[in-house]
Amino acid sequence: MQSNEITTAEAIKDKVFLVTGGLGYVGSALCLELLRRGARQVRAFDLRPTSPWSKSLTNAGVQFIQGDLTEKEDVGNAIRGADCVFHLASYGMSGKEMLRFARVDQININGTRHVLEACLQFDVGRLVYVSTTNVVFGGKEIVNGNEALPYFPLDDHVDPYSRSKSIAEQLVLSHSGRPFKTNNRGKLHTCAVRPAGIYGPGEERHLPRIISHAKWGLLPIRIGDMSVMTDWVYVENLVLALILASIGLSDGRGDLEGKSPVASGQAYFISDGSPINSYKFMQPLLRSLGYDIPKVSVPVSHVIATARASWTIYKFLYTWLNHAWLPPPLILPAEIYKVGVTHYFSSLKAEEELGYVPPVTPREAMDATISYWQERKRETLDGPTIWPWLIVGFGLGMLFCAAFLPNAGPVVPLLRGFSLLFLRSMWMVRAVAVAAAVAHVAEAVYALKLAKKVDPVNAKGWFWQTLALGFFSLRLLLKRRELGR
């Protein structure tokens, strides 16, 4: 480790840090760790007023500054007086955000410019930028890649997020070594950290979406075969890497000797160091929650057309992307490449120059993640996949229409005729409809009484879900009772 000329204590103790995106998952963990290591002040700069981690940050003494990266004045006010900036805030990584092209560029490119300008204006000596492996990856296989890889051509990126992060990273690294605007004796030193897929207890982007799809039965296929390898990084390991990068920018009595700190102008790939197939990686977590693992493998070439079609459709819906009623696209091209094309990277450079060694093993990290999600599942209303909702909804709807609606229009006679094929008489159709309603009500009442003992927090939810789905819902509650014994 070359950066040991400056110790952790010297680089952090009594220093002031600003973390953009400080209310996010990684940002909040970084804020807390900086305070634990002796920082004098840690500021969390974020657009949103609150997050799931706000309470723990406030209790720890983190100063919250609400502001917008696209507003130069907001950024300057937040950075003034800081010794080091960690720039984590970004936009457009997944879901509907990926298609909001203008907003992606405003935050990721213009916002980064504002951070750089403020650092130079207010004599901030260190800037650690959190980038992405997508600056070099765009759908072509990479095996054990390193920092010598060229940037992926900007015009060939399949999503605006990757393109904008590449531009922003190059801006950040090109500013390393620039003198301050008001103090020519000092310089800004920058570096970029390129993390693998981030995971851990409470992670809010990758795992919740995957688990939600698995819960609803929307993971029917596996994209690519099991030989496809990617890498991941546990949140605690990433936080350590970020802190080591900031220390690497402090290695410098360097400036007095005419040398730059070891990390100045450098990029670093960061991972747990254990490449693995994404579906194999998710397997223990999904199985621990009782969800099915996709068994059928489909080549990337067969599903990329569907993803591109989804991309095109959502581009036409651009005006409504920020509305809650519009669901996120099931999958987009960049996400297919992420899981279906081998790409993993070596952290050797970070190990040699920064002293990065992951303190948490992949097994320990997954165990902690599983424990978190099992507890979260126990505290929430469980439900079946989407298929019982469709089957029961269609079946009951058809039955009640046939039994009780007037014989008007083309649909009701058709439904009535179909019902009579099986039940022979209208009296029998109406009797079955009433019996189904009574059964669902009885099951719902029983579910409410049982849930008050087994899962009192979600008792009302169990009532309404069982009223709609009947035994498809009740059996899950009975299973929860058995597991609780």
Do 374 and 409 fall within a single domain? no
Q: Taking residues 121-137, report their average pLDDT.
A: 97
The verdict on whether 314 is a catalytic residue reads no
- Helical spans, DSSP H, in 61-202: 72-79, 101-105, 111-121, 160-174
Average pLDDT, the chain: 91
* Lowest-confidence segment of 57-61, 155-159, 172-176, 410-414 by average pLDDT: 410-414
Report how far residue 38's alpha carbon sits from residue 43's, in angstroms, rounded to the nearest whole number.
14
Do 433 and 306 fall within a single domain? no
Do 447 and 375 fall within a single domain? no
* Lowest-confidence segment of 86-100, 112-126, 306-320 by average pLDDT: 306-320
Q: Taking residues 69-85, report their average pLDDT.
A: 97
Answer with the one of 362, 379, 396 that is the final residue of a domain: 379
Do 311 and 232 fall within a single domain? yes
Do 346 and 408 fall within a single domain? no
Full domain range(s) for residue 407: 386-484
pLDDT at 3: 42
pLDDT of residue 230 exceeding 60: yes
pLDDT at 253: 41
For the stretch 183-196, pLDDT in tens is 777 899 999 999 99
Answer with the one of 379, 410, 436 that is the final residue of a domain: 379
Catalytic residue among 25, 91, 129, 161: 161
Q: Taking residues 167-178, report their average pLDDT.
A: 97
Do 332 and 413 fall within a single domain? no
pLDDT of residue 171 exceeding 80: yes
Of 301 and 145, the structure prediction assigns the larger pLDDT to 145
The DSSP string of 405-471 is: S-S-TTHHHHHHHHHHHHH-SHHHHHHHHHHHHHHHHHHHHHHHHHHHHH-GGGHHHHHHHHHHHTH
pLDDT at 4: 44
Confidence of residue 153 (pLDDT cuts 50, 70, 90): very high
Q: Phi first, then psi: what are they for 43, rounded to 5°?
A: -110, 135
Of 347 and 485, the structure prediction assigns the larger pLDDT to 347
Answer with the one of 379, 406, 423 that is the final residue of a domain: 379
Do 202 and 228 fall within a single domain? yes
Confidence of residue 251 (pLDDT cuts 50, 70, 90): low
Q: Taking residues 260-286, report their average pLDDT.
A: 95
pLDDT at 312: 86
pLDDT of residue 213 exceeding 90: no
Q: Which of 8, 65, 64 is nearest to 36 (CA)?
A: 8
Contact 112, 135 (CB under 8 A): no
Report how far residue 443's alpha carbon sits from residue 395's, in angstroms, rounded to the nearest whole number.
18
Do 86 and 222 fall within a single domain? yes
Do 242 and 355 fall within a single domain? yes
Per-residue b or e along 17-41, where b marks 16 or more CB atoms closer than 10 Å to that residue's CB: bbbbbbbbbbbbbbbbbbbeeebeb
Do 342 and 416 fall within a single domain? no
* Lowest-confidence segment of 1-15, 83-97, 132-146, 299-313 by average pLDDT: 1-15
What is the CATH number for 78?
3.40.50.720
Do 245 and 355 fall within a single domain? yes
Count up the domains in the chain and report the number. Answer: 2
Do 431 and 294 fall within a single domain? no
Per-residue b or e along 137-161, where b marks 16 or more CB atoms closer than 10 Å to that residue's CB: bbbeebeebebeeeebeeeebbbbb
